[in-house]
Chains A and B, each alone.
Chain A
Amino acid sequence: GQQVMQIPQYQHVQEGEDFTTYCNSSTTLSNIQWYKQRPGGHPVFLIQLVKSGEVKKQKRLTFQFGEAKKNSSLHITATQTTDVGTYFCARNDYKLSFGAGTTVTVRA
C-alpha cells in the first residue's frame, strides 16, 4: 500500500522546548489524521486535516497540511512530560495507513 513516511523516528526533548515531527507522502492525500499513543496504550485520535494549507491548533499542538497535500507536520511548543508517547500520522482512505511514528521522550 501507499506509505506515509515520518521523521524523526525518535525525538528527545528538554522539558519546555519545542519540536516538530513531519509526515510525507509520495502521493496526494485526501486527508490525514494524527494519533497519539502513550507508552503501553492505544492510538488516540488527535485531529484530521482535509484542506490544502490547513492549520489547526489544539492548545500547544499545531498541525499543518501542506499546500500540495503531500505532507503534514505536528509542532509542539513548551513540551511537557505529559507529551511523552508516539505520534503517528495516518493517511485515511476508508482505512488508516499509519506512518512509523515519532517516539517522544522528555527530559525534565
Chain B
Amino acid sequence: EPEVTQTPSHQVTQMGQEVILRCVPISNHLYFYWYRQILGQKVEFLVSFYNNEISEKSEIFDDQFSVERPDGSNFTLKIRSTKLEDSAMYFCASRSTGVSRYGYTFGSGTRLTVV
C-alpha cells in the first residue's frame, strides 16, 4: 500500500535555529498538508498546498513557517527560527485529486524537540 514518507523521524534543535522537515507524498496525489500534534493534544491543521501554491493556512502558520515542493516529489516544511512551543509531532498528509471522498494518508511524523 502506498505510503507517505517523512524524514527525519526525530529532530532536536536549539531555540532560534532553522529546521526543515521533509515529506514524500504518494506519487499520484496532488493535495498536500502539514499538521502538528502537541503531545497529548489534538491534531491541528497548519497548511494545505495544491498546484504549487498554498491553498489555505491556519493562524499557527505564521511568517516563521514556509512550505515548498522543490522537485516534484518532496514537500518540505521550514521553520525559520524555532521556539520552545514549536515542539510537537509534525505530520505530512496527502490525498488524491477531485472530490475528497477518500481518506487522507498521513506519514509517520517527525517529532521535533526544541531545547
Contact = CB atoms under 8 A, between A and B. Distances in A.
B106 A97 contact: no
Contacts, number: 55
Interface in A62-108: 88, 92, 94-101
Most B CB within 10 A of own CB, among A31, A45, A46, A48? A45
Contacts of B107: 42
Given A94-B100, A95-B33, A44 B42 contact: no
A7 to B, nearest CB: 13
Contacts of B103: 33, 35, 45-46, 48
B45 interface: yes
B101 A95 contact: no
Nearest to B44: A98
Interface residues of A, number: 23
Contacts of A45: 102-105
B91 A43 contact: yes
A42 B106 contact: yes
Given A44-B106, A45-B105, A48-B102, A88 B91 contact: no
Contact of A43 (B31, B43, B100): B43
Contacts of B45: 1, 95-98
Given A43-B43, A95-B48, A98-B42, 16 more contacts: A1-B58, A31-B101, A33-B103, A33-B104, A42-B107, A42-B109, A43-B104, A44-B106, A45-B102, A48-B103, A88-B42, A94-B100, A95-B56, A96-B35, A100-B41, A100-B42
28 contacts: A1-B58, A31-B100, A31-B101, A33-B103, A35-B103, A42-B107, A43-B104, A45-B102, A45-B104, A46-B103, A48-B101, A48-B102, A48-B103, A50-B101, A88-B43, A92-B100, A94-B31, A94-B48, A94-B55, A95-B33, A95-B48, A96-B93, A97-B45, A98-B42, A98-B43, A99-B42, A100-B41, A100-B42
